[in-house]
A = this chain, B = another copy of it.
Amino acid sequence: MAGLKEDPVLGIDGITIKEELKIVKPEIDKLRGDHPVLETVGEVIKGESLINNRSVIDKVREEGSCGQGERDMVPLTSNSIHRSGSRPQLDLSKAAIEGTFEERDPTILLPNQSDDISHLALDIGGSLIKLVYFSRHQDRLTNDKRKKTVKERFGISNGNRRSYPILGGRLHFVKFETSKINECLDFISSKQLHCGGMDSHCWHSETSPNGNALIKATGGGAYKFADLFKERLGISLDKEDEMDCLVAGANFLLKAIRHEAFTHMEGQKEFVQIDQNDLFPYLLVNIGSGVSMIKVDGDGKFERVSGTNVGGGTYWGLGRLLTKCKSFDELLELSQRGDNRTIDMLVGDIYGGMDYNKIGLSATTIASSFGKAISEKKELADYRPEDISLSLLRMISYNIGQISYLNALRFGLKRIFFGGFFIRGHAYTMDTISFAVHFWRGTSNVFAA
Q: Which residues of A contact B (CB under 8 A)?
A: 1, 125-127, 177, 179, 219-221, 223-225, 241, 243, 288-290, 303-306, 308-314, 316-318, 320-322, 324, 326, 328, 343-345, 347, 349-354, 356, 358-359, 365-376, 379-380, 383, 388, 395, 398-399, 402-403, 406-407, 409-410, 440, 443-444, 447
Chain B residues with Cβ under 8 A from A409's Cβ? 410
* Copies of this chain present: 2
Chain B residues with Cβ under 8 A from A311's Cβ? 368, 371
Closest chain B CB from A305 CB (angstroms): 7
- Smallest CB gap from A356: residue in B: B220
- Smallest CB gap from A126: residue in B: B350
- Smallest CB gap from A343: residue in B: B317
Contact B224 A179 (CB under 8 A): no
Chain B residues with Cβ under 8 A from A290's Cβ? 345, 366-368, 371
The residue from B221, B243, B402, B440 contacting A358, defined by CB atoms under 8 A apart: B243
Chain B residues with Cβ under 8 A from A372's Cβ? 317
- Smallest CB gap from A398: residue in B: B309
- The 16 sampled A-B contact pairs (Cβ below 8 Å) are A127-B345, A220-B351, A243-B359, A289-B367, A289-B368, A304-B359, A304-B447, A308-B399, A314-B370, A314-B395, A316-B374, A317-B343, A321-B379, A321-B380, A321-B388, A402-B403
Contact B351 A224 (CB under 8 A): yes
Contact B309 A344 (CB under 8 A): yes
Chain B residues with Cβ under 8 A from A177's Cβ? 374
Closest chain B CB from A334 CB (angstroms): 16
A322 CA / B447 CA spacing, docked (Å) = 38
Closest chain B CB from A184 CB (angstroms): 16
The residue from B220, B367, B379 contacting A309, defined by CB atoms under 8 A apart: B367
Contact B289 A345 (CB under 8 A): yes
The residue from B313, B326, B375 contacting A345, defined by CB atoms under 8 A apart: B313
Chain B residues with Cβ under 8 A from A402's Cβ? 306, 308, 403
- Given A127-B368, A219-B350, A310-B369, 11 other A-B contacts at CB below 8 A? A225-B352, A288-B368, A305-B443, A306-B440, A309-B366, A309-B368, A314-B371, A320-B373, A322-B322, A402-B403, A406-B406
Given A304-B359, A374-B317, residue A126 in contact with residue B369 (CB < 8 A): no
A357 CA / B331 CA spacing, docked (Å) = 34
A399 CA / B374 CA spacing, docked (Å) = 20
The residue from B316, B328, B352, B399 contacting A310, defined by CB atoms under 8 A apart: B399
The residue from B288, B321, B352, B379 contacting A224, defined by CB atoms under 8 A apart: B352
Chain B residues with Cβ under 8 A from A440's Cβ? 306
Closest chain B CB from A364 CB (angstroms): 12
Chain B residues with Cβ under 8 A from A359's Cβ? 243, 304
Contact B410 A318 (CB under 8 A): no
Closest chain B CB from A76 CB (angstroms): 30
Chain B residues with Cβ under 8 A from A350's Cβ? 125-126, 219-221, 224, 289
Chain B residues with Cβ under 8 A from A317's Cβ? 343, 345, 368-374
Closest chain B CB from A128 CB (angstroms): 10
The residue from B369, B388, B447 contacting A314, defined by CB atoms under 8 A apart: B369
A351 CA / B365 CA spacing, docked (Å) = 39
A318, A359, A409 pick with most chain B CB within 10 angstroms: A318
Contact A410 B399 (CB under 8 A): no
A374 CA / B178 CA spacing, docked (Å) = 11
A220 CA / B220 CA spacing, docked (Å) = 47
Chain B residues with Cβ under 8 A from A321's Cβ? 322, 370, 373, 379-380, 383, 388
